[in-house]
Structure formats: structure tokens, C-alpha cells
């Protein structure tokens, strides 16, 4: 069955999907190396902010490609596919944790979550009130889908 409305990537874009995946892989790897190096320098024997550094590299890479008009649909697809798989991967991560052992720490989980959430809500009210003396940022735009 072929849906006539279905849109396929043009061949040029299809070839660049791997470039997007490679860019993402390179950023993740460089971030991991930088994080490990930073950990060694700081003497913590651990990866320090590797994922954060990788994210900054990817944002910089995206801006660089955009400014040169090189950010093709294929490159976007190569990166965004993995961004869209982030929740399923987190589900898989949750499914392989030692939850049976964590249940022993039960009350801790509930207390930390409730206290943290309550305090953060209070802060939203406080900061929001302090900010309301200034004019708001303006009109609300049309609804957009946001996926985690």
C-alpha cells in the first residue's frame, strides 16, 4: 500500500543522514574524552560533564552548519532520530536498574521528591512575582508540539 501523500527525503538529503549521525557521534565522543580529561585534571577519577560538553559542541555545530547553509534535512534527521529515541532509551535504562534493592530506600524517594517539588513551586511563585514588575514578553504564539 502506497500513500500518495507520503513524502520521501530527496536523494541528496538521504546521503547526508549518516553525516548527522556521525556529527552526533563525534560530539558525544569528544564530550566523553573532554569529560574524562577534566575528571583527571580535577582528580575525581570520573567523567565530569561529558554529556554537557557534548551538548554544547552539538549546539555550536548546528549553529555553524546553519550559518553556512549546510544544515540539510538529512543531517537533521540523523540527529533528531536519536533525540526522539531519548525517552524510549530512558525507559530501557529504568528497566535495567536494581529497583528491587532501591525499594529498601522507599521513604527517602517519596520525601525527597515531595520536598523538592514543593520548594521549586514556591520559588516559581517568588521569582515570577519579582519578575511581574516588568512587562511580560508579549503575545503567546500558536500551539506547538513539544516532544521530550
Would you say 35 and 48 are in contact if contact means Cβ atoms under 8 Å apart? yes
Cβ 68 to another protein shortest distance, Å? 16
Chain-centroid distance, C-alpha 147: 11
**Considering only residues 63-92, where is the footprint of another protein by CB under 8 A?**
63, 76, 79-83, 85-92
Torsion angle defined by CA atoms of residues 116, 47, 58 and 23, in that order, rounded to the nearest 10 degrees:
-140
CB atoms within 10 A of CB 27: 21
Cβ 11 to another protein shortest distance, Å? 23
Residue choice 18, 40, 59, 70 for contact with another protein (CB under 8 A): 59
**Count of residues that bind another protein according to CB under 8 A:** 87
Gyration radius from the chain CA atoms: 22
Cβ 6 to another protein shortest distance, Å? 21
**Considering only residues 89-108, where is the footprint of another protein by CB under 8 A?**
89-105, 107-108
Residue number, 11 or 43, with CB nearest to another protein? 43
Cβ 28 to another protein shortest distance, Å? 5
Cell output for 90: 530512558
Distances (CA, A) of 15 to 22, 26, 50, 71, 74: 12, 18, 29, 13, 7
CB atoms within 10 A of CB 117: 10
Q: Is 1 in the site for another protein (CB under 8 A)?
A: no
Q: Is 121 in the site for another protein (CB under 8 A)?
A: yes
Query: Which range touches another protein (CB under 8 A), out of 1-9, 10-18, 38-46?
Result: 38-46
Distance CA 128, CA 111 (A): 26
Q: Is 40 in the site for another protein (CB under 8 A)?
A: no
Residue choice 10, 15, 64, 116 for contact with another protein (CB under 8 A): 116
Amino acid at each position: 500500500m502506497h500513500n500518495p501523500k507520503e513524502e520521501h527525503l530527496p536523494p541528496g538529503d538521504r546521503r547526508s543522514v549518516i553525516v548527522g549521525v556521525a556529527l552526533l557521534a563525534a560530539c558525544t565522543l569528544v564530550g566523553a574524552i573532554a569529560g574524562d580529561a577534566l575528571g583527571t585534571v580535577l582528580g575525581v577519577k570520573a567523567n565530569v560533564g561529558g554529556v554537557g560538553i557534548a551538548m554544547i559542541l552539538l549546539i555550536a555545530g548546528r549553529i555553524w552548519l546553519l550559518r553556512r547553509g549546510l544544515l540539510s534535512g538529512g543531517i537533521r534527521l540523523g540527529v533528531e532520530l536519536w533525540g526522539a529515541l531519548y525517552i524510549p532509551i530512558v525507559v530501557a535504562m529504568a528497566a535495567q536498574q536494581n529497583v528491587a534493592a532501591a525499594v529498601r530506600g522507599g521513604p527517602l524517594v517519596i520525601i525527597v521528591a515531595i520536598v523538592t517539588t514543593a520548594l521549586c513551586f514556591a520559588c516559581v511563585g517568588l521569582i515570577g512575582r519579582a519578575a511581574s514588575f516588568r512587562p511580560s514578553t508579549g503575545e503567546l504564539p500558536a500551539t506547538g508540539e513539544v516532544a521530550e
